[in-house]
Amino acid sequence: MSLLKVIERARAVLHVDASASPKDVKRAYRRRVREAPPDRMPEEFRRVRDAYELLQDLETWANEALMSRTPSVDPPRLQLPTVDRGSTAVAMLRAMAGRLDERELVGLEAVEASDGG
């Protein structure tokens, strides 16, 4: 989930907008705690508390989220089929020749003749 979506969800939980000051966030947190006290609604209270902690120190949280190490994963080992290089080159030349018209082929023959090939 992107950082912006996490922040938007936290603001939605506390019912504040993006322009809310730290005082507004604290006021909204206290109001939401009264609506969802920890003894009666522990899950909702946990969501409110997490949202408040995130919005209270947003810059520190964002820096930690951006700088956190992602787990390293070994790349998958692919078993590639072996290819005869000669047949591949011939197939590529045939495909290219199929796209050329006669004038281009005549031009290529003239270049080959001048190169001595």
Higher pLDDT, 2 or 20: 20
Of 92, 96, 115, 116, nearest to 105 by C-alpha is 96
Residues 6+ apart with CB under 8 A from 36: 44, 45, 48
* CATH fold label, 3-67: Helix Hairpins (1.10.287)
Question: What b-and-e string marks burial along 78-97, b requiring 16 or more CB atoms within 10 Å of the CB?
Answer: eeeeeeeeeeeeeeeeeeee
pLDDT of the residue at 78:
72
Q: For the whole model, what pTM was predicted?
A: 0.52
pLDDT digits (tens, 9 = 90+) for 19-46: 888 899 999 999 999 999 999 999 999 9
pLDDT of the residue at 7:
86
Q: What is the mean pLDDT of residues 88-102?
A: 67
Q: What is the mean pLDDT of residues 49-73?
A: 78
Please spell the DSSP secondary structure of 94-111, one letter per residue: HHHHHH--HHHHHHHHHH
**How is the chain split into domains, by residue range?**
3-67, 85-115
